[in-house]
Each structure stands twice: as C-alpha cells, then as structure tokens.
Amino acid sequence: MTDMTGWSVERLHEDHAQALRVTSVLYDSETEHQRLRVIENPTFGRVLTLDGVVQVTERDNFIYHEMMTHVPLFAHGAAKRVLIVGGGDGGMAREALRHPLERVTMVEIDAGVVDFSKEYLPAISDGAFDDPRLDLVIADGAAFMRETEGGYDVIIVDSTDPVGPGEVLFTDHFYGLAKRALAPGGILVTQNGVPFMQPEELRGTMRAFSALFGDTTCYLATVPTYAGGPMAFGWGTDGLARETSPSDLAARVAASGLDFGYYSAAVHSAAFALPGYVARLLA
Ligand code: SAM
C-alpha cells in the first residue's frame, strides 16, 4: 500500500496497481497478524484492506459472497453443516445463513478483523454474528482443520491471498485435511484470486485438488475491486453435485424464495464455462 495524496494504491503486480480515492480513513492499525485499514471511497463505500490488499467493499461484496456460498449450497441441495475458513468480515456467513443450515462454523485467525468489521462494516455481516447457528472460532484455519471431527457438507476457504497468515491455506497438506473434513458428497470451494494476474495460484490449487477429488474444476465471477479480470473459485468434491440438472438447480433456487444481486441458476451454470486461458491452468 503506497498512498498518493488522497489515494489508496494497491500493487497487484510489479507493474500493475489499482488506486481508490480516499475520502476518509476510518480505521488504520496493526493487529498481531496484519495491517487493517478501512477507507471510504465514493464509488465502493467502505473498503477493508489487509496489508494494503482490498478484501471487501460495501458495494461489490455481494458478488463474491453470493458466488462462494450459493453455488456449492444449491449444487449440494441438502447441506446442513458448513465450515468457513477466514471470512472475518462476516459477509460469507451472512450469505450462507440465508439457507436452512443447522450450523455454520467460522474459523478466523484475526479477532481484530471480526471486531472492527462489526463496528466499521456492519452492513457486510448484517447480523450474521448474532445468528445462533453461527459458531465463531478464533484460530488458524490449518490448525483447526487438523483437529476438527469434520462432517461438513460445504467448506468455504474465504482467505486472504497466499501470503502471510493465508499462505498455509493454499498448501496440499491443508487441502488434504479439508478433504478429510468433508462429509460424503461434500464440496470444498476456495478463493483463488484473479487467474489473469495470479495464474500460478489457481494452477497450484487445481493440481492439488485433482490429486484429491474426483471432480475438480473452478468457476468464475467478476468482482470490480478484484482487478485484472474474473476471479476464480476452486471447486473440489467426490460427490455428484455438478451433475445437478439445470432444471433441478432452477427449481431449488426458486423454492428457496431467496433473491440475489448476482447469483441465479443460469449464472451458476455459466460460471463453470471457462475461457481457454483459465481452462489451460487446470490441465
Ligand atoms: N474476499 C477476500 C479475498 O478474496 O481476498 C477475503 C476476505 S476475508 C477478510 C479474509 C480473511 O482471511 C481475513 O479476515 C484474514 O484474517 C483471514 N485469514 C488469513 N489467514 C488465515 C488463516 N490461516 N486462518 C484463518 N483465517 C485466516
């Protein structure tokens, strides 16, 4: 993060950066794990950055959170227990808890992210932290995965990028532990960055998943503040969730009575149609 006068600059690559105009800095401090900042931007509202990298914004977070929850949950069709690794802003829990789940366990390494998200970004969690079905655990997701008894129908890794505390969540070892923690037919989805800018991140996850799961792929969504093109979500399961017919998927979505800003049964199916430069990263 290098601030030009009145701008927050995120270096995405050695020769590519994204700048957001800063109308005010609402929060700026170091936790035990990372530097937290919340800035105000006229277009995106309040923006959370961790170590200078945009994590979530009030205006476009719905795209990311809808696509990482409703795609696996509607594909699964009967999920009861969900595990979220990371997700400290509460947006992933918000969207998951819209489904008739029994329990959502959220394992976040940095209590500081949760605490100040509740205070400075309440619209993102939108009451999720008060939902009695939510179990919030402050711990390293990798350590938790070693100890958990498992039985999760969907595991969502909503982590930072593979640097700092997030790095351990992109390892073959962690993915193996996550697979072990899945219930039969369970689905693992992972935040896998913007493949046009970070191809090796997706390639590494897909290589690890293909050694673990019968069904390995990724799906895409475009989130304006994750600059550089569509972002990828890793998908791994030994179940048949991706064989859900478009008509069954549409029926599940209609029966849910939920409305969305981005997700739909048609968008769900289309998200798995990969352009060549992404598909080649799966080979
Ligand atoms: N949407 C963002 C993205 O795509 O980069 C992710 C948002 S969420 C705020 C990322 C969360 O992962 C942060 O709260 C961070 O503290 C958490 N995190 C990073 N490493 C972790 C670990 N090893 N275990 C648990 N949580 C972790």
Pocket test for ligand 1, best of 37, 148, 158 (most atoms within 8 A of CB): 158
Q: Which residue has the tokens 């700092």?
A: 164
Query: Residues 158, 238, 248, 259: which is the catalytic one?
Result: 158
51 marked ligand binding residue: no
Active site residue 158: yes
pLDDT digits (tens, 9 = 90+) for 59-78: 999 999 999 999 999 999 99
- Does the beta carbon of 169 lie inside 6 Å of ligand 1? yes
Task: Indicate whether 101 pLDDT > 70.
Answer: yes
193 marked ligand binding residue: no
Q: How far apart are CA 160 and CA 180, in angstroms?
A: 22
Question: pLDDT band at residue 5, thresholds of 50, 70 and 90?
Answer: low
Residue of minimum CA distance from atom 14 in ligand 1 = 88
Question: pLDDT band at residue 95, thresholds of 50, 70 and 90?
Answer: very high
Q: Which of 243, 183, 245, 198 is nearest to 217 (CA)?
A: 243
pLDDT digits (tens, 9 = 90+) for 122-139: 999 999 999 999 999 999
- Does the beta carbon of 101 lie inside 6 Å of ligand 1? no
Residue of minimum CA distance from atom 21 in ligand 1 = 166
Residue 114 Cα: closest atom of ligand 1: 14
Rounded mean pLDDT, 206-227: 97
Q: How far apart are CA 1 and CA 7, in angstroms?
A: 10
CA 66-68-69 angle, 5° bins: 70
Question: pLDDT band at residue 3, thresholds of 50, 70 and 90?
Answer: low
Domains of the chain are: 7-57 (2.30.140.10), 61-282 (3.40.50.150)
pLDDT digits (tens, 9 = 90+) for 140-197: 999 999 999 999 999 999 998 888 889 999 999 999 999 999 999 999 999 999 999 9
- Does the beta carbon of 167 lie inside 6 Å of ligand 1? no
pLDDT digits (tens, 9 = 90+) for 223-250: 999 999 999 999 999 999 999 999 999 9
Of 10-24, 170-184, 264-278, minimum mean pLDDT range: 10-24
Query: With 0-12 CB in 10 A as exposed, 13-18 as middle and 19+ as buried, what is 103?
Result: middle
Residue of minimum CA distance from atom 1 in ligand 1 = 55
Question: Other CB atoms closer than 10 Å to residue 251's CB: what's the count?
Answer: 14
Residue 54 near residue 22, CB atoms below 8 Å: no
Reported ipTM: 0.96
| Distance from residue 168's CA to the centre of ligand 1 (Å) | 11
Read off the pTM: 0.95
Q: State the DSSP code for 223.
A: -
Residue 89 near residue 68, CB atoms below 8 Å: no
Element (H, E) at 277: helix 276-279
3-state secondary structure (DSSP) of residue 240: coil
Query: What pLDDT does residue 11 have?
Result: 86
Pocket test for ligand 1, best of 129, 159, 173, 205 (most atoms within 8 A of CB): 159
| Distance from residue 150's CA to the centre of ligand 1 (Å) | 20
102 marked ligand binding residue: no
Task: Indicate whether 212 pLDDT > 60.
Answer: yes
| Distance from residue 141's CA to the centre of ligand 1 (Å) | 9
Q: How far apart are CA 226 and CA 18, in angstroms?
A: 9
Query: What pLDDT does residue 2 have?
Result: 46
pLDDT, the chain, mean: 94
Query: What pLDDT does residue 16 have?
Result: 87
Residue 117 Cα: closest atom of ligand 1: 9
Rounded mean pLDDT, 5-34: 88
- Does the beta carbon of 117 lie inside 6 Å of ligand 1? no
Residue of minimum CA distance from atom 8 in ligand 1 = 87
Residue 164 Cα: closest atom of ligand 1: 20
Task: Indicate whether 4 pLDDT > 60.
Answer: no
Task: List CB contacts of 86: < 8 A, sequence separation 6 or more.
Answer: 92, 107, 108, 109, 141, 157, 158, 159, 160, 166, 169, 191
Q: State the DSSP code for 4.
A: B
pLDDT digits (tens, 9 = 90+) for 37-47: 999 999 999 99
Rounded mean pLDDT, 98-119: 95
Q: State the DSSP code for 219.
A: E
Rounded mean pLDDT, 191-217: 96
| Distance from residue 160's CA to the centre of ligand 1 (Å) | 4
Question: pLDDT band at residue 33, thresholds of 50, 70 and 90?
Answer: confident
Q: Which of 125, 121, 162, 140 is nearest to 32 (CA)?
A: 140
Question: Which amino acid, 47?
Answer: V
